[in-house]
A and B are shown apart, each in its own frame.
Chain A
C-alpha cells in the first residue's frame, strides 16, 4: 500500500514489543466520537502508471509555453537554464534534506547558502543577503515592516509603478503591524518626517529605468529608508542599488533558473546594508571553524528567529525556499561573470529591437518615452485584451494587457523580451500585431 513497507510479521512483532494487540489500540486516546467512520470523500488510489497518465491528461488541459512564443513577463520570466542546473538540484542529498539544524551533517547545503548570499550581494551591490524568502512580494512586505521597526515610524510610501500584486501584499501584511501605506506617482514628493520607508521598483513594473539617486537623497534627508524591488537579470547591466546608497534591496530571483511553474515555487531575496543585519527576517549563514580550525558554515544570528525569540522574532518565517535558492546559485555559477552579463545585455538588446519594430506600426507607440531594460509598455490604440486573444490564436502570447491593473490603460500591453526569443520570433510578433491593429 502506497509507500508503507510493513509486512504482517513486522506489525505483529512491533505491537508485541509495544504491548498492545492492535494498531487501533494505539488510538485509544482519540475520543470515539471523533473517529472517521468509513471512507473519506477522496478518490480511490491509482497505481503509478495510471497516476502518471491521469496527471498527463490534466496537464494537457493547459496551453504550456512550450507550444507558444512567449512575451509575457510581469514578474515571472522565461530564461535559458543550462541542463546541469536541474540535474544537480534534484540530487537526493539536496532535495530530501531539511533546514540545516545539524551543521556537521549539512555542510553541503550550508556552503551553497553562503554562496547564494554572496552571489546575490555581487549582483545587488549590497553587503548582506539572507538565505531566501518565499517570493518577491512577501520579501517586499517583510522589508517594509522591517523598515517600520528600524525607524520606529509607520508610514510606508509606495510608488504606483511597483507591481500591483507586490503592493497588495504589503498592504495585507503591514496593516496588522499598524503601518499605513501611501501609493504615489511621485514618491519623492510624498516623503515626510513620518515616513519609515519609500519603495520603488527597479526597473519598475512597466520596465522603466530611473536613476535612484534623487530618491535616496530625499529619503535619507527625512530619515527614511529606501527599499528597492530589483530584478536581478536587469542588474546584470544596471548600476546596482547597493552602489547608490539604497538601504534594502529585495526581489524575485525566479529569473535565475527557476521554472515559471505557474508562479510557484519562486524565490525571494532580501539584502540590506551591514548595519541592518540584526533586523532582517529569515535564515542567514555565516562562516566559522571547528576546534581544529577547519572552515565550516552555520546558521548565525539565530536569536532573531522565531524558534528562539518567539513573539519577539524579527519575522515568523521558518521554512523558506532553500531549493530554489540552490537553483539560482547553480544557475549564477554556470553562467558566471561573462555569461550573466551577456544574457542581461541580450535581453535588453532584443527588447529594444522589438520595441523599435513594434512602434513602426501606425497607431502603436511606446506608452512612456523613458529608458527601459527588457520589458516595455506599448499603447496599441486598440483594446489590449482583444489583441492578446487574437495573437494567442496564432500561437503568440503577446504580453500582459494592463487594463486589469490600470483601467485607464486598457489599450496598453506590457511586453517582455528575454534572451530566449529570436529575431525571427520577434518579427513574427510584430507582423501579427500589425495585422491585428490594422
Chain B
C-alpha cells in the first residue's frame, strides 16, 4: 500500500483554495508601504482545492483513535466522555467572538463564567480561592511552586531551595520544580505503595520549601497517612502541593484542602471533561489556601459590588503567566459540566470511577497482578511481569490491544513498577465495555503463552506497524523542506 500523502504531495502549482475577502480599498505598492527589501516571495504553502483539504483531514482522522472511537483507558489521563453539549455551548459566538482586551463592561458574561468556576473549584477541592489561568497541568504545578516561593520569600525564608517529590511522581513534578528554581529530592514509596514516612523525615529540614504529592498517588492508591504527612511537612516550615491529576477519584467525596494541602492544580481536561484535543488545549487551574492568595497571577477576576472586574493592582502577585486569562473557552465547557451534574451528582463521578477501576482490577489481577494488593481508587496499576517468562512485555500487550480495538493503558509508569500497565476506565464506561476490554486482556495473556510472536509483531491491523523511533531521532526529518533536502542528499 502506498504511503498516505502529505498535504504538500497533493499540491499542484497554480491551484487555488479558499480565498479571503476582497481588497476593496485603493491599493499601493507593497514595497512602498512596508519598506524596500522587506517584501518576501510568497510562502510555499500547499496549493490544494477545498475538497482535497476536506478529504485529506477526514482521512487522517480515520487514522486516529479517540474516546469517540472506543475505550481509552490511558491511566492518569482520565479519558472520559466529552459531552457534546459542552461543545455546543462553547461554540456560541457570545463567548467565542469576544476579545480579551474589550472593556470589562462588555465581557461580564465571560467574567461570570470564570468567577463561578473559581468559586466552584475552590469549593470542590476545599481551598479558599482559585485561578483559572494556567493553560495546562504542568503550568498549574509551576504556578503553585512560584506562589510557594513568593510566600517563603515574604517571610524571609527565601533560602529554602529544595522540593521533595515522590519516586512515583509524574515527570512534570520534578520538571516544574526545576523551572521554579528548586533542587529536587526524591522520597521513597513504602511497601504499601504510600509515602515512606521515615524517608520523608530524613529529607525534611530547614531548606525544604515544599513537597509535591499526588493524591491518590500515581499508583492509584489513596495516601491514607495524608494528615500526618501534611503535618510533618508543615512542622518543618514547608508547604504541601497536591498534584490534582487524580481528582476524578475524589470529586464530591473528599477534598484535598481538608487533607492539609496548601495548594493544588486541577486538570479541567481530565476531571471536568474538556476534550484532550490530541494533546491540548487543557486547563490547569489552581486552588489555594488564603495565605497564598496575595501572590496569585494578575489579573484576578473579582466581583466588586455586583460588577466583575479584572484586578491588576496586586503588588505581591507573581506577575502574568499567560498572554491573557488562560484557556477561557475550556472554562465554558467545564462550567457546563459542573452544572450537568450539580451538587447532587458530582460525588457519583468519583464513586463510579472507583467502581469501574476496581472492577477491572478484580477481573484482571489473576493474570496481571496488582503492583500493591490494595483497593484502588480511580485507576489500577497492574504488572505484565508474569508474561516476561514468555518473552512478552507490557509494550507488547499494549500493541496487541490495538488489534482488539482498544487504546492501550499507560505503560511503564509509574517508573517504580516493573512492566506497569496503568488502567483508568473512568466512570462513563459501561460494564459491557470494561468486560470486553478485560476479555481481550485475558485473551492476550493466553496468546502470550501459546504464540508470543503474535504480540511481538502487533499491531497487525493499523495502517503502519511498529515504528522505528531510533531512525526518526537519527535522521531528524521534522519538516517537509528538510525531507526534500534529505531525499536529494540520498539520506532517506
Contacts and interface: CB of A to CB of B under 8 A. Distances in A.
Q: Do A and B come from one complex?
A: yes
Contact of A420 (B21, B61, B171, B269): B21
Interface string A291-323: 110111110111001111111110111111111
Interface in A268-296: 274, 277, 283-292, 294-296
Given A42-B123, A264-B281, A58 B109 contact: yes
Given A5-B429, A128-B478, A306-B138, A135 B323 contact: yes
A84 B175 contact: no
Contacts of A336: 11, 15-18, 45-48
A339 B45 CA distance: 9
Interface string B178-202: 1111001000000000000000000
Q: How large is the interface on A (under 10, 10 to 19, 20 to 34, 35 or more residues)?
A: 35 or more
B276 A96 contact: yes
Nearest to A83: B18
Contact of B4 (A33, A107, A238, A333): A107
A324 B329 CA distance: 12
Task: Give the 3 A-B residue pairs with the shortest CB-CB distance, closest first.
Answer: A45-B342, A263-B324, A92-B68
Contact of B280 (A20, A41, A324, A338): A324
A330 B57 contact: yes
A56 B94 contact: yes
Interface stretch (B27-35, B236-244, B446-454): B27-35
Contacts of B103: 388-389, 392
B66 A165 contact: no
Nearest to A19: B362
B489 interface: no
Interface in B100-126: 100-103, 106-110, 112-113, 120, 123-124
B76 to A, nearest CB: 10
B45 A122 contact: yes
A55 interface: yes
Contacts of A177: 179, 181
A112 B323 contact: no
Nearest to B64: A108
Contacts of A265: 135, 280-281, 327-330
Nearest to A278: B476
Residue from the set B108, B280, B336 with the largest chain A CB neighbour count within 10 Å: B280
A334 B19 CA distance: 9
A184 interface: no
B255 interface: yes
A324 B45 contact: no
Contacts of B469: 288, 298, 300, 302
Nearest to A357: B25
A426 B26 CA distance: 12
Given A58-B113, A176-B179, A136 B408 contact: no
B144 to A, nearest CB: 12
Given A27-B253, A260-B96, A131 B279 contact: yes
A23 B348 CA distance: 10
Interface in B268-291: 269, 273, 275-282, 284
Interface in A1-48: 1-6, 10-11, 13-15, 17-20, 23, 26-31, 33-36, 39-46, 48
